Chains A and B, each alone.
Chain A
Amino acid sequence: MSRLRIVSDEAACIGCHLCEIHCLVEHSRSRQIVKAFRREVPRALARVHVEEDLPVTLAVQCHHCSEPMCVYACLTGAMRKDSETGIVTSDPERCMGCWTCIMVCPYGALARDEVRGVVGKCDLCQHLVTPACVAHCPNEALTLAEAEP
């Protein structure tokens, strides 16, 4: 199994939050920035967040762990790790919003989508060659890398 993940470098992060914005747009219905922020109700959810402890900032998203506690702990089976790609995804049709995955994620990388009552997480933008957050990071703080499986 290959294991792709996004590597986040706090030394290069400038705290611009563009990753959050482009993640949200990419996961919106329209995939257009103005519509995604101003028209779509409920608004889409960013699956990356930028922590700030100035001057240090750090973008955090799912590590698609080789031993994914969120998958093991999931009460419904909504959270799966793909055996081919290694990508961890949550099926919103099967998620019941119990937040057990949030409780066991050591990165605090999962988000509550309170409007839809399901968890939101990084899916590595499988439909794109380069995930939106990586593509739009102006200082290459976010890179797509092959991790140890």
Chain B
Amino acid sequence: MTRYVIVGNSAGGVGAAEAIRQVDRHGSLTMVSEEPYPAYSRPLIARYLSGETPEGQMAYRPAGDYQALGIELVLGRALQGIDTAGQTVRLSDGRLLPWDRLLLAVGGTPIVPPTEGLAEHEHFTFTTLDDAKRLARHLSAGSHAVVVGGGLIGISVAEALVKLGAAVTIVELAPQVLGRALDSCAGEIARRAIERAGVQVLTGRTVARVIGRAPGAPAVSAVVLDDGAEIVCDTLVVAIGVRPRVEVVAGTGIAVGRGIVVDRHMATSAPGVYACGDVAEAYDFVLGGNRLTPIWPNAYLGGRIAGRNMAGEETVYEGGTAMNSLHSFGLSMMSAGTVDPPAGDGSYEVLSCQDAGRGIYKKVILQEGRVVGMIFCGAIERAGIIFGLMRARVAVDGFKERLLADDLGLLSLPADLRRELMQR
């Protein structure tokens, strides 16, 4: 009987557990999480903060699933050590768990940059439900919040803060918001929507210094930017991104790049040990190599493949890529893959069109006749067809002029390709 241990109880861990149980009903399966909650939807924490989604509606899976899948759930315990030779993990309560197959789905830690005065003063990150609860307790009527970071997390927390009536300033180091997900044109559309909601957006700026209300007290009264400007605030949220928690494998010899390196089976360099999600550096089908893509869907997809392989059913990870659907501030924007190829690189072909009046911007990036990236703003209903072509590496040269058309659909595809798709 195989003993499975999964460290991490979010998208990646759940994906693996569900896949293991599709193959192996009998092995023992233990899931360990530092957090005190059954798996919940992290992307919902912004709606929890704004009061739109109560805590009781955040569960990622129905309450009975752990029992139905025969999972022993160990909550509120951290991973303290991995013994790859002896095949055990040690938890923070001293408990030693033996494993035959181990999955590291431990995620990332919010990045908090070294900034003068930051460590001594109260600030918030925004990746867990407890983060959201802490922030909710802190806020008061008429709060003024500074959000450091104009990426997806920063924008989602900014939207929740606006809904709560706070005045919000976003400070983003890059020249545009959502620089990792969007090109400058789409970034500008997003920026305008955010500003329309009353948010001040400062790009190309960073917080140089945090000023407290009183000497020795944690409360924040203002931040000073790198250009000397001072912004009065009582709430400081740091939402720059997450760093893979690679420290969990320190001393084990498990190969680490920017994250824990996994092969196309989601296996690490140590026998029996797998990794997925934000901590893993896994295959990206656009890049044709490994990279970090710390997003929820890829955590589940990678976890699923890890689970199948852990249970002995050899399955190759087709790979994930950067992909995001942005829905904050009334926006409908999707992006995936390489959205902003380097200027002057002739190997890329960029197709794009814009209809500002209808709020539409579409861009498809090709390389060697295949889709490697896309941005869809406004008209998003059929964007999945483009994503499907990208994922399946379909040669699109013969019909590329149809990819941006208003009537994009399955009928835009060559008949043989469409027939093959429709028969599935």
CB of B296 within 8 A of chain A?
Answer: yes
Decide: B60 and A103 in contact? CB cutoff 8 A: no
Q: Distance (Å) between the CB of A79 and the closest chain B CB?
A: 11
Decide: A112 and B381 in contact? CB cutoff 8 A: yes
Decide: A77 and B60 in contact? CB cutoff 8 A: yes
Decide: B385 and A107 in contact? CB cutoff 8 A: yes
**Which listed residue (A56, A72, A106, A147) contacts B297, Cβ 8 A?**
A72
Give the CA-CA distance A108 to B408 in the complex, in Å: 9
CB of B57 within 8 A of chain A?
Answer: yes
CB of B203 within 8 A of chain A?
Answer: no
CB of A125 within 8 A of chain B?
Answer: no
Chain A residues with CB under 8 A of B84: none
**Which listed residue (A93, A108, A147) contacts B381, Cβ 8 A?**
A108
Decide: B410 and A51 in contact? CB cutoff 8 A: yes
CB of B15 within 8 A of chain A?
Answer: yes
- Contacts A75-B43, A76-B41 given; indicate if A107 touches B381 (C-beta within 8 A): no
Chain B residues with CB under 8 A of A124: none
Chain A residues with CB under 8 A of B175: none
Decide: A60 and B424 in contact? CB cutoff 8 A: no
Chain A residues with CB under 8 A of B411: 10, 51-53, 56, 58
Mask: chain B, 383-409; 1 = CB below 8 Å from A; 0 = not? 111011001100000000000000111
Interface size on A, residues (CB 8 A): 35
Interface residues on B, range: 35 or more
CB of A144 within 8 A of chain B?
Answer: no
CB of B237 within 8 A of chain A?
Answer: no
Q: Distance (Å) between the CB of A47 and the closest chain B CB?
A: 12
Chain A residues with CB under 8 A of B59: 77
Which chain B residue shows the least CB distance to A117? B327
Find residues 41-95 in chain A having any chain B CB closer than 8 Å to their own CB.
51-53, 56, 58, 60, 63, 65, 72-77, 93-94
- Contacts A8-B422, A76-B60 given; indicate if A108 touches B410 (C-beta within 8 A): yes
CB of A135 within 8 A of chain B?
Answer: no
Q: Distance (Å) between the CB of A23 and the closest chain B CB?
A: 16
Which chain A residue shows the least CB distance to B58? A76
Chain A residues with CB under 8 A of B118: none
Which chain B residue shows the least CB distance to A71? B300
Decide: A107 and B410 in contact? CB cutoff 8 A: yes
Chain B residues with CB under 8 A of A4: none
Chain B residues with CB under 8 A of A132: none
Decide: B297 and A107 in contact? CB cutoff 8 A: no
CB of B412 within 8 A of chain A?
Answer: yes
Decide: B47 and A103 in contact? CB cutoff 8 A: no
Mask: chain B, 343-377; 1 = CB below 8 Å from A; 0 = not? 00000000000000000000000000000000000
What is the interface of chain B, defined by CB distance below 8 A to chain A? 15, 41, 43-44, 47, 53, 57-61, 296-297, 300-301, 304, 323, 325, 327, 332, 334, 336, 380-385, 387-388, 391-392, 407-412, 418, 421-422, 424
What is the interface of chain A, defined by CB distance below 8 A to chain B? 7-8, 10, 51-53, 56, 58, 60, 63, 65, 72-77, 93-94, 96-100, 102-108, 110-112, 147
Q: Give me the 8 closest cross-chain CB pairs, A-B, nearest first.
A: A106-B388, A73-B297, A108-B382, A105-B384, A53-B411, A51-B409, A75-B43, A77-B60
